[in-house]
Structure 1
Amino acid sequence: MRAALFLASAALALPAFAQGAPKPAISVDTLKTVTQTLSSDAYEGRAPTTPAEAKTTGYIVERFKQAGLKPGNKGSWYQDVPLVEISASDVTPLTFTGGKTPVTAAYRSDLVIATYRVTPKVAIRNSDVVFVGYGVNAPERGWNDYAGVDVKGKTVVILINDPDWQTQGLTGDFGGRAMNYYGRWTYKFEEAARQGAAAAIIVHDTEPAAYGWGVVQSSWTGPQLEQDTPGDHMDQSEAVGWIQKPVAEALFASAGKDFGALSRAAASKGFKAVPLGVKASVGFTNTVRRQASKNVIGILPGTAKPDEVVLYSAHWDHLGRCDAVKGDDICNGAVDNASGIAGLVAIAEASAKAGPAKRSQVFLAVTGEESGLLGSKFYAENPVYPLAQTVGGVNMDGLNVVGKAKDFVLVGAGKSELEDMVKPLVAAEGRVIALEPTPEKGYYYRSDHFSMAKLGVPMLYGESGDDLVVGGTAAGRAAAEDYTVNRYHKPQDEYDPKWKWDGAVSDLTIYYALGHSLAESDRWPNWYPTAEFREIRDKSRAGAK
Structure 2
Amino acid sequence: MRRLALSLSLVTLPVSGVTQEATRTADTPAAASAAAATPLSAGAAAIKGHVMFLASDAMRGREAGSAEFDIAAQYVASQFFAAGLKPGGDAAAGARSYLQQVPLVAYKPAGKGTMSIAHAGGTPQPLVHGVDYVPSADPRAKETAVTAPVVFVGYGIVAPAYGRDDYRGVDVRGKIVAFVSGSPAKMTGEERAWLGSATTKARFAAERGAIGTITLQTPRAENQRAFAQLVEASTHTRMTWANPDGTGNVEAGSIPNLATLSVAGAAKLFAGARTPWAKVARAADKPDAVFVAEQLPATLAAATQTSFAPARSSNVVGVLPGSDPVLSKEVVVLSAHLDHVGVSGKGTDTIHNGALDNAIGIASLIEEAKRFQKEGAPKRTIVFLAVTAEEKGLIGSDYFANHPTMPLQSIVADVNLDMPILTYRFEDMVAFGGDRSTLGPIIRRVVEGAGFALSPDPMPDEGIFVRSDHFRFVQKGVPSVFLWPGQKGPGKAAVEHFMSTNYHKPGDDLSQPIEWEQGVRFVDVNYRIAREIADSVARPVWNKGDYFGTLFKGPMAE
Please classify the TM superposition score into its range, dividing by the shorter chain length: 0.7 to 0.9
Q: 1:530 to 1:213 in 2, by over 3 A?
A: farther
> Given the superposition, is the C-alpha separation of residues 178 and 237 from structure 1 closer, same or farther in structure 2, using an over 3 Å criterion?
closer
Asked if structure 2 preserves the Cα contact closer than 8 Å seen for 1:112 and 1:241, the reply is yes
User: Does residue 178 of structure 2 align to residue 156 of structure 1?
Assistant: yes
Distance 2:374 2:225 in 1: 40
Shift of 1:364: 0.7
Identify which of 451, 456, 472 aligns with 1:430: 451
Instruction: Say which one has the larger Rg.
Output: 2
What letter matches 1:538 in structure 2? P
Q: Does 1:538 align with 2:542?
A: no
Distance 1:93 1:287 in 2: 16
Is this contact kept in 2: 1:95–1:105, CA < 8 A? no
Counterpart of 2:474 in structure 1 is: 453
SS in 2 for 1:533: helix
Corresponding position: 1:506 with 2:505: no
Deviates more, 1:196-205 or 1:45-54: 196-205
Which ranges in structure 1 are unaligned for 5 or more consecutive residues? 3-24, 168-173
Matches of residues 36-435 of structure 1 in structure 2 within 5 Å? Answer: 36-73=52-89, 75-91=96-112, 106=130, 114-121=136-143, 132-139=153-160, 141-147=162-168, 148=170, 150=172, 152=174, 154=176, 156-160=178-182, 162-163=183-184, 165=185, 167=186, 174-175=187-188, 179=192, 181-194=194-207, 196=210, 198-201=212-215, 203=217, 222-229=236-243, 232=247, 233=250, 236-239=254-257, 247-248=262-263, 252=267, 257-258=278-279, 261-264=282-285, 267-268=288-289, 271-273=291-293, 285-305=305-325, 306-322=328-344, 324-326=345-347, 329-412=350-433, 414-435=435-456
d(CA) in 2 for partners of 1:483 and 1:211?
A: 23
Tell me the residue number matched to 2:13. none
| Distance of aligned partners of 1:254 and 1:182 in 2 relative to their CA distance in 1, 3 Å threshold | closer
Structure-2 change in CA distance of 1:202 and 1:254 (3 Å) = closer
Tell me the amino acid that sits aligned with residue 514 of structure 1. Answer: I
Alignment TM-score, normalising by the size of structure 1: 0.75
SS in 2 for 1:403: coil
Cα distance between partner residues in 2 of 1:464 and 1:342: 16
SS in 2 for 1:538: coil
**TM-superposition CA deviations, 1:283-332 (whole Å, max 9, x none):** 7643323454321101222233443322111112233344x244755444
Q: CA deviation at 1:453?
A: 1.9
What is the alpha-carbon root mean square deviation over aligned residues? 4.2
Partner Cα separation in structure 2 for residue 105 and residue 375 of structure 1: 34
CA contact (8 A) 1:26 1:347 kept: no
Quote how far apart the aligned CAs of 1:380 are.
2.0
- 8 Å contact from structure 1 (residues 83, 228) kept in 2: yes
Q: Deviations over 1:516-537 (max 9, x none)?
A: 2233333322111112426844
Gaps of 5+ in 2: 3-40, 120-124, 271-276
C-alpha contact (below 8 Å) 2:189/2:463 kept by paired residues: no
Deviation, structure 1 residue 48 = 2.5
Tell me if structure 2 keeps the 8 A contact 1:200–1:237.
no
Equivalent AA in structure 2 for residue 483 of structure 1: F
Q: 1:239 to 1:62 in 2, by over 3 A?
A: same
Are the structure 2 counterparts of residues 334 and 123 from structure 1 closer, same or farther at C-alpha, using a change threshold of 3 Å? farther
CA distance in 2, matches of 1:281, 1:386: 44
- Number of equivalent positions: 492
| DSSP-derived class of the 1:257 partner | helix
Give distance in 2, aligned partners of 1:218 and 1:300.
47
- Cα pair 2:414 2:473 within 8 Å, conserved: no
Deviation at 1:335, TM superposition (A): 2.6
- 1:406-439 residue CA offsets vs partner (Å, 9 max, x unmatched): 2222324541112122123212332212211221
- Distance apart, 1:455 and its partner CA: 1.8
Contact 2:465 2:482 in 1 (8 A): yes
Instruction: Give the Å deviation of 1:156.
Output: 2.5
Q: State the shift of 1:46 in Å.
A: 2.5
Secondary structure of the 1:294 match is strand
Describe the shift of the 1:237–1:336 C-alpha distance in structure 2 as closer, same or farther (beyond 3 A): farther
Q: Which of structures 1 and 2 has the larger relative contact order (alpha carbons within 8 angstroms, sep 6+)?
A: 1
Query: Normalized against structure 2, the TM-score is what?
Result: 0.74
* Contact 1:391–1:518 under 8 Å retained in 2: no
3-state SS of 1:368 partner: coil
Percent identity of the aligned residues?
28
Whether contact under 8 Å (1:179, 1:439) holds in the other structure is: no
Contact in 1 for aligned 2:202/2:256 (Cα 8 Å): no
> Aligned with 1:369: secondary structure?
coil
Query: Whole-Å Cα distance in 2 between the matches of residues 272 and 299 of structure 1?
Result: 53
CA distance in 2, matches of 1:56, 1:218: 32
* AA aligned opposite 2:288: A
Secondary structure, aligned partner of 1:385: coil
- Which letter does structure 1 place at the counterpart of 2:215? I
Kindly state the Cα deviation for residue 205 of structure 1 after the two structures are TM-superposed: 9.9
Query: Contact 1:39 / 1:334 at 8 angstroms: preserved in 2?
Result: yes
1:225 is displaced (CA, Å) by 1.8
Q: Specify the alignment match of 1:21 in structure 2.
A: none
